Amino acid sequence: MKPLTSPIHFHTAMIEQIPVAAFIGQEMIGSGKIVEITDFAVKIGDEFYMREACTFKYAL
């Protein structure tokens, strides 16, 4: 899985409805399509994941 490393990656994934996965360390804590992006968090489905605490990867 390729990591999302820049703001354009997050916005492209949201616009194109590309599934992503959120990780803390090696543990996947959530996955789905991005519905909202803030400076501090990414909302995937109904859950917010803190950008500073998580790693995000394309789930394809």
Mean pLDDT (10-residue bins), the chain, 60 residues: 93 97 97 96 97 94
Please give the model's pTM, rounded to 2 decimal places.
0.91
Rounded Cα–Cα distance for residues 58 and 9 (Å): 9
| Full set of structural domains in the chain with CATH | 7-58 (2.30.30)
Beta strands 27-32 and 55-58 are unpaired
User: What is the layout of strands, in order, in the sheet containing 41-44?
Assistant: 34-37, 41-44, 47-50
